[in-house]
Amino acid sequence: MPCRTIGILRRSAVAAAGATVLAIALAGCTSGPGPVPSSVVPTSAAATTTPTAAPVLVPSGTAAQNLAFFDFVNNQTISAATAQSQTPDGVAFITALRTGGFAVADMQVTPDITTVGVKADSIQFSVAMKGQCLIGQYGFGQYHSLIAPVLGTGKCLIGETRAIDW
């Protein structure tokens, strides 16, 4: 073996031994099990908890009160499309939101097809509620949402949107 290789192996062995000694030394610094952080649920308690109910639409509520339901509907739409090896489009999101109880008159959606005729990489869709907007975006297999104020135009999205005529 060349001297350089032996030197590298020797340094690696020394580093590994040093890390082991450090780990043993730090392990000796504890006096036993400490208190469990409040955010950690013991396994036995986790088994007895009941699942939370699905969120529901609060028709006269604010955007903040309806964000969980908005996300729930959109994630269900994504799951349903993915189960069929498809990608959800604007029609799927808007239809699901309408079926969920959101008013079509308060919605906007960006085009699914670009100006050169190919499927858009991502789409945005929104629902205006009491001066605020629930805005969702889906693209590249990722879903994101947020709450933003209604724009000066009275709309939620900037740029070209398509007519919701289905």
95 and 18 in a common domain: no
Contacts of 120 (CB under 8 A, 6+ apart): 110, 111, 112, 113, 114, 139
Percent residues over pLDDT 90 in the chain: 68
109 and 71 in a common domain: yes
Q: Is residue 120 one of the residues assigned to a domain?
A: yes
The Cα 56–Cα 66 span in angstroms is 8
With a cut of 60, say whether residue 128 has pLDDT above it: yes
pLDDT in tens, 23-71: 333 344 344 444 433 333 344 444 456 678 999 999 999 999 999 999 9
Mean pLDDT within 109-121: 95
67 and 29 in a common domain: no
The number of angstroms, rounded, from the C-alpha of 60 to the middle of its chain's C-alpha atoms is 25
Contacts of 159 (CB under 8 A, 6+ apart): 110
Contacts of 36 (CB under 8 A, 6+ apart): 42
Q: Is residue 54 one of the residues assigned to a domain?
A: no
Domain that holds residue 142: 63-149
Q: Is residue 95 one of the residues assigned to a domain?
A: yes
Please count the structural domains in the chain.
2
With a cut of 70, say whether residue 17 has pLDDT above it: no
Q: Is the distance from CB of 66 to CB of 129 less than 8 angstroms?
A: yes
Q: Is residue 136 one of the residues assigned to a domain?
A: yes
The Cα 67–Cα 55 span in angstroms is 9
Report how far apart, in Å, the C-alpha atoms of 157 and of each of 58, 82, 114, 148 are: 22, 26, 17, 10
pTM, full prediction: 0.69
